[in-house]
Amino acid sequence: MKNSTFFILILFAFIVGGSSCQSEAELNYIRYYTTGKQLYESNCQNCHGNDGKGLAMLYPPLTDSIYLKKNKNQLACIIKNGLKGRIEINGQVYEGEMPAQAKLSDIEIAKIITYITNSFGNQQGLHDAQAVNQDLKYCK
Protein backbone atom coordinates (compact mmCIF):
# COMPACT_ATOMS: atom_id res chain seq x y z
CA MET A 1 0.00 0.00 0.00
CA LYS A 2 1.32 3.42 -0.89
CA ASN A 3 2.01 5.82 1.92
CA SER A 4 -0.55 8.36 0.78
CA THR A 5 -3.31 5.73 0.55
CA PHE A 6 -2.46 4.64 4.05
CA PHE A 7 -2.60 8.23 5.27
CA ILE A 8 -6.03 8.80 3.70
CA LEU A 9 -7.30 5.59 5.28
CA ILE A 10 -6.07 6.69 8.70
CA LEU A 11 -7.61 10.13 8.21
CA PHE A 12 -10.90 8.52 7.18
CA ALA A 13 -10.88 6.22 10.19
CA PHE A 14 -10.18 9.20 12.40
CA ILE A 15 -13.05 11.26 10.99
CA VAL A 16 -15.54 8.40 11.18
CA GLY A 17 -14.25 7.43 14.63
CA GLY A 18 -14.29 11.05 15.71
CA SER A 19 -17.90 11.58 14.87
CA SER A 20 -19.27 8.26 16.04
CA CYS A 21 -17.41 6.85 19.00
CA GLN A 22 -14.75 9.23 20.22
CA SER A 23 -16.34 11.53 22.71
CA GLU A 24 -15.10 15.01 23.57
CA ALA A 25 -13.83 13.59 26.86
CA GLU A 26 -11.73 10.96 25.10
CA LEU A 27 -10.22 13.56 22.77
CA ASN A 28 -9.50 15.77 25.74
CA TYR A 29 -7.76 12.87 27.44
CA ILE A 30 -5.58 12.29 24.36
CA ARG A 31 -4.68 15.99 24.19
CA TYR A 32 -3.78 16.13 27.87
CA TYR A 33 -1.78 12.91 27.75
CA THR A 34 0.23 13.88 24.66
CA THR A 35 1.28 17.32 25.92
CA GLY A 36 1.69 15.87 29.40
CA LYS A 37 4.34 13.50 28.07
CA GLN A 38 6.35 16.39 26.61
CA LEU A 39 6.01 18.40 29.82
CA TYR A 40 7.12 15.36 31.83
CA GLU A 41 10.17 14.96 29.62
CA SER A 42 11.26 18.55 30.15
CA ASN A 43 10.33 18.98 33.83
CA CYS A 44 10.42 15.62 35.59
CA GLN A 45 12.28 13.01 33.61
CA ASN A 46 15.72 14.15 34.79
CA CYS A 47 14.98 12.79 38.22
CA HIS A 48 12.14 10.29 37.83
CA GLY A 49 13.44 8.71 34.61
CA ASN A 50 11.87 8.13 31.19
CA ASP A 51 10.28 4.92 32.48
CA GLY A 52 9.16 6.50 35.77
CA LYS A 53 11.38 4.16 37.77
CA GLY A 54 13.19 6.94 39.62
CA LEU A 55 16.78 6.47 40.72
CA ALA A 56 17.85 4.15 43.51
CA MET A 57 17.32 5.71 46.96
CA LEU A 58 17.47 9.24 45.56
CA TYR A 59 14.37 9.65 43.42
CA PRO A 60 11.18 7.70 44.11
CA PRO A 61 9.40 5.82 41.29
CA LEU A 62 6.07 6.75 39.70
CA THR A 63 5.44 3.19 38.55
CA ASP A 64 2.13 1.56 39.39
CA SER A 65 2.36 3.22 42.73
CA ILE A 66 -0.27 3.04 45.44
CA TYR A 67 1.16 6.38 46.51
CA LEU A 68 -0.10 8.03 43.31
CA LYS A 69 -3.61 6.69 43.89
CA LYS A 70 -3.74 7.55 47.57
CA ASN A 71 -2.37 11.03 47.03
CA LYS A 72 -4.08 11.83 43.75
CA ASN A 73 -5.47 15.12 45.05
CA GLN A 74 -2.09 16.15 46.45
CA LEU A 75 -0.14 15.57 43.23
CA ALA A 76 -0.81 19.10 41.98
CA CYS A 77 0.52 20.48 45.28
CA ILE A 78 3.61 18.25 45.12
CA ILE A 79 4.39 19.46 41.61
CA LYS A 80 3.67 23.13 42.29
CA ASN A 81 5.21 23.41 45.76
CA GLY A 82 7.74 20.59 45.83
CA LEU A 83 8.04 17.89 48.49
CA LYS A 84 10.34 17.39 51.43
CA GLY A 85 10.52 14.86 54.22
CA ARG A 86 10.05 11.16 54.75
CA ILE A 87 7.81 9.26 52.36
CA GLU A 88 7.42 5.53 51.80
CA ILE A 89 6.78 3.89 48.45
CA ASN A 90 6.46 0.14 48.03
CA GLY A 91 8.26 -0.40 51.33
CA GLN A 92 11.17 1.86 50.41
CA VAL A 93 11.80 5.03 52.40
CA TYR A 94 12.81 8.27 50.70
CA GLU A 95 13.96 11.36 52.50
CA GLY A 96 14.84 13.66 49.69
CA GLU A 97 13.69 17.00 48.48
CA MET A 98 11.82 17.72 45.30
CA PRO A 99 12.09 21.33 44.11
CA ALA A 100 8.94 23.43 43.63
CA GLN A 101 7.88 24.12 40.05
CA ALA A 102 5.87 27.26 40.68
CA LYS A 103 6.16 28.39 37.05
CA LEU A 104 3.90 25.58 35.82
CA SER A 105 0.30 26.64 35.12
CA ASP A 106 -2.76 24.70 36.29
CA ILE A 107 -3.33 23.26 32.85
CA GLU A 108 0.31 22.20 32.49
CA ILE A 109 0.15 20.51 35.89
CA ALA A 110 -3.11 18.81 34.88
CA LYS A 111 -1.46 17.48 31.72
CA ILE A 112 1.53 16.17 33.66
CA ILE A 113 -0.76 14.48 36.21
CA THR A 114 -2.82 12.93 33.41
CA TYR A 115 0.40 11.63 31.88
CA ILE A 116 1.97 10.15 35.03
CA THR A 117 -1.27 8.64 36.34
CA ASN A 118 -1.79 6.85 33.01
CA SER A 119 1.78 5.70 32.38
CA PHE A 120 4.29 3.41 34.06
CA GLY A 121 1.53 0.89 34.91
CA ASN A 122 -0.94 3.48 36.22
CA GLN A 123 -4.38 3.88 34.68
CA GLN A 124 -6.49 6.59 36.28
CA GLY A 125 -7.99 8.60 33.43
CA LEU A 126 -8.18 12.35 32.85
CA HIS A 127 -7.34 14.87 35.56
CA ASP A 128 -8.22 18.27 34.12
CA ALA A 129 -7.24 21.87 34.85
CA GLN A 130 -10.38 22.47 36.90
CA ALA A 131 -9.51 19.55 39.18
CA VAL A 132 -5.99 20.93 39.62
CA ASN A 133 -7.37 24.36 40.44
CA GLN A 134 -9.47 22.70 43.14
CA ASP A 135 -6.59 20.53 44.42
CA LEU A 136 -4.33 23.56 44.87
CA LYS A 137 -6.79 25.07 47.37
CA TYR A 138 -6.19 22.15 49.74
CA CYS A 139 -2.43 21.68 49.82
CA LYS A 140 -1.20 20.00 52.99
Query: Does 83 participate in binding ligand HEC (rule CB under 6 A)?
Result: yes
The Cα 120–Cα 107 span in angstroms is 21
Which 104-123 residues touch ligand HEC, going by CB under 6 A? 112, 116
Nearest approach, Cβ of 119 to ligand HEC (angstroms)? 11
**Which residues have CB under 8 Å from 34's CB, separation 6+?**
none
Q: Which is nearer to ligand HEC, 22 or 83 (CB)?
A: 83
Binding mask 40-79 for ligand HEC (x = CB under 6 A): ---xx-xxx----------xxxx--x-xx------x--xx
| 128 close to 110: Cβ distance less than 8 angstroms | yes
Of these, 19, 24, 66, 85, which contacts ligand HEC (CB under 6 A)? 85
33, 118, 138, 136: CA torsion to nearest 10: -20
Which residues touch 71 (CB under 8 Å, ≥6 apart)? Answer: 78
Kindly list the residues in this chain that would bind ligand HEC in the complex (CB under 6 A).
43-44, 46-48, 59-62, 65, 67-68, 75, 78-79, 83-85, 87, 89, 94-99, 101, 112, 116
